[in-house]
């Protein structure tokens, strides 16, 4: 016999003939002959195994981490190391010797793939490799194996056996899957985050950007590539040391706030967080903090206004309260000379009490308007009768209260039809007119205070004019501010500079709610004119 394989082939044929004779009940005991043939076959297989796997090689293979096995050309196991026995969950090689994959506890899918790999390996006389899994074991865990099979070819070019290696790649596959998931999450973050991302080289030149950068800067990706990061920002002085800091940040992050002009010429405030991810690469996170900056500025302004408001209101409250308490004390202790003096003190108490009540009402009114708690109640009404019957009597009473005997009140509605209608909140419109007329009376010593109303397209214009002391240009820009009071000589009121400074602020805010607007013109010592307009029909501002 030239080869062990040929010997085994002849032994196989001899066994077939002996079994056939036994089945036909040929005289004679064939059992002994069959036993001898089996012994001969086993001896040849052992010599085959010894030929392929020497004792020295067995010793080495039992020590390595990979599972190693050898199969004959019929896919029967003729060798397996300890690692392989552990994977197939048997205690000794004797349990699988001479058996095939069909006899092991593989799943159907794994079994078919192992058999197919052996078939291709033998047919093509070439090595094959594949990943098999997930393979469920008795502990309930699933494993992945990389299977490599190589043909053992004899001197005559025939395949004698298949040499296989089974490598447990479960952990590496899990790491690979985790890496893929991590890359997918990072890619998703890169593409969809609202924060801008620059990828920079060691020169801080831009080599990649995410879509959010376009929303922040207005520049497209191709317009930014190869540009230096720091050339995008306008406050270069504050960035002088940032580049050097970035070169030494290591694994830490260097943060900085700066500004840039976007492509549409808008000023953007941004926060940069620069991270050195590799020796020669950086990631720069760009967060648009423009809204935050505006919110902080607004909060600071609100805090400043709150402080100013508290200071002003405390002063405004203290002044009339001091007068009320002081003159009440005089009356209680009867520290006056005549009844005429007592009456004058009572009048002071009354006027200051009215002023205090008006101040509190104005503060509450303004607070409600500014916090959106004021609802307008518009209705249709005829304007001229409303002015004559509801507004004018209040103005006349105010004139008498202010002792303006030398001031004439003039109402001019000659350009209006008696039936002209308006859809508005009557109470708020009356409040606006009375406030403006009150101011005009207060600052007019003698002369005329007039109210003229006329139409202009879809709007009605109300003009309140006086011949009073006037307002200089410096003060005109501030008269609608809260607590601002016009200062000037010749201001004659029941009390010097009396007034809370809230009336015009309330007027302007109410007109904003009514979709109206107001302007003012004034000349020193000649008078002031307020003109406001509101639409005849309107939807309240929201």
> How far is it, in rounded angstroms, from Cα 153 to Cα 302?
90
pLDDT at 13: 59
Return the structure tokens found at 443.
Answer: 């600052």
> How far is it, in rounded angstroms, from Cα 457 to Cα 134?
82
pLDDT at 48: 52
- The ranges of the chain with pLDDT < 50 are 1-2, 27, 50, 489-497, 542
pLDDT at 450: 95
> How far is it, in rounded angstroms, from Cα 10 to Cα 507?
118
The 10 Å Cβ neighbour count of residue 443 is 23
Confirm if 209 and 197 have CB atoms less than 8 A apart.
yes
pLDDT at 64: 81
pLDDT at 491: 42
pLDDT at 136: 86
Confirm if 8 and 41 have CB atoms less than 8 A apart.
yes
pLDDT at 41: 52
pLDDT at 69: 92
> How far is it, in rounded angstroms, from Cα 529 to Cα 436?
10
pLDDT at 495: 38
pLDDT at 150: 92
pLDDT at 304: 80
pLDDT at 12: 62
pLDDT at 325: 92
pLDDT at 25: 56
HSE of 446 in the Cβ direction (CA atoms, 13 Å)?
2
The runs of H, that is alpha helices, within 220-338 are: 221-224, 236-239, 242-247, 290-332
pLDDT at 231: 86
> How far is it, in rounded angstroms, from Cα 451 to Cα 420?
17
> How far is it, in rounded angstroms, from Cα 407 to Cα 222?
73
pLDDT at 276: 81
The 10 Å Cβ neighbour count of residue 28 is 9
Return the structure tokens found at 222.
Answer: 């191709």
540: helix, strand or coil? coil
pLDDT at 496: 43
462: helix, strand or coil? strand
């Amino acid at each position: 016999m030239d080869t062990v394989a040929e010997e085994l082939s002849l032994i196989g044929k001899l066994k077939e003939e002996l079994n056939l004779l036994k089945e036909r009940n040929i005289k004679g005991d064939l059992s002994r002959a069959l036993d001898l043939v089996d012994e001969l076959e086993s001896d040849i297989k052992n010599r085959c195994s010894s030929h392929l796997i020497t004792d020295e090689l067995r010793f080495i293979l039992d020590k390595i981490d990979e599972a190693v096995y050898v199969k004959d050309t019929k896919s029967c196991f003729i060798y397996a190391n300890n690692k392989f026995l552990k994977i197939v969950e048997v205690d000794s090689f004797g349990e699988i010797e001479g058996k095939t994959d069909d006899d092991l506890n593989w799943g159907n899918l794994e079994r078919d793939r192992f058999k197919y790999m052996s078939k291709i390996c033998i047919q093509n006389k070439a090595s094959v490799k594949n990943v098999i899994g997930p393979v469920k074991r008795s502990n309930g865990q699933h494993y992945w194996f990389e299977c490599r099979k190589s043909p053992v070819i004899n001197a005559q070019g025939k395949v004698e056996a298949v040499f296989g290696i089974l490598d447990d790649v479960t952990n590496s596959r899990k790491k690979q899957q985790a890496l893929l998931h991590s890359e997918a999450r990072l890619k998703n973050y890169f593409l969809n985050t609202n924060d801008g991302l620059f990828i920079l080289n060691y020169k801080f030149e831009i080599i990649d950007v995410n879509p959010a950068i376009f929303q922040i800067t207005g520049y497209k990706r191709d317009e930014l590539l190869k540009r230096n990061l720091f050339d995008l920002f306008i406050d270069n002085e504050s960035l002088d040391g940032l580049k050097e800091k970035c070169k030494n940040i290591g694994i830490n992050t260097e943060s900085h706030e700066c500004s840039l002009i976007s492509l549409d010429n808008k000023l953007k405030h941004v926060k940069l967080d620069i991270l050195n991810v590799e020796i020669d690469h950086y990631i720069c996170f760009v967060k648009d903090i423009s809204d935050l900056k505006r919110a902080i500025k607004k909060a600071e302004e609100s805090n400043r206004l709150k402080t100013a408001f508290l200071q002003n209101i405390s002063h405004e409250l203290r002044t009339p309260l001091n007068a009320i308490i002081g003159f009440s004390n005089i009356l209680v202790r009867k520290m006056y000379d005549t009844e005429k003096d007592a009456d004058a003190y009572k009048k002071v108490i009354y006027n200051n009490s009215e002023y205090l009540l008006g101040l509190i009402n104005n503060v509450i009114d303004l607070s409600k308007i500014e916090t959106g708690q004021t609802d307008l109640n518009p209705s249709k009404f005829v304007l001229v009768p409303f002015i004559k019957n509801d507004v004018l009597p209040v103005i006349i009473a105010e004139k008498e209260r202010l002792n303006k005997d030398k001031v004439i009140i003039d109402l001019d509605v000659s350009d209006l039809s008696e039936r002209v209608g308006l859809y508005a909140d009557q109470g708020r419109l009356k409040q606006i007119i009375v406030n403006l007329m009150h101011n005009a009376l207060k600052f007019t010593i003698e002369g005329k205070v007039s109210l003229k109303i006329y139409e202009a397209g879809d709007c009605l214009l109300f003009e309140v004019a006086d011949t009073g002391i006037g307002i200089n240009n410096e003060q005109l820009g501030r008269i609608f501010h809260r607590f601002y009071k016009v200062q000037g000589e010749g201001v004659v009121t029941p009390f010097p500079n009396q007034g809370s400074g809230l009336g015009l602020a309330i007027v302007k805010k109410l007109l904003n709610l009514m979709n109206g607007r107001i302007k003012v013109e004034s000349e020193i010592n000649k008078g002031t004119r307020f003109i406001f307009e509101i639409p005849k029909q309107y939807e309240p501002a929201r």
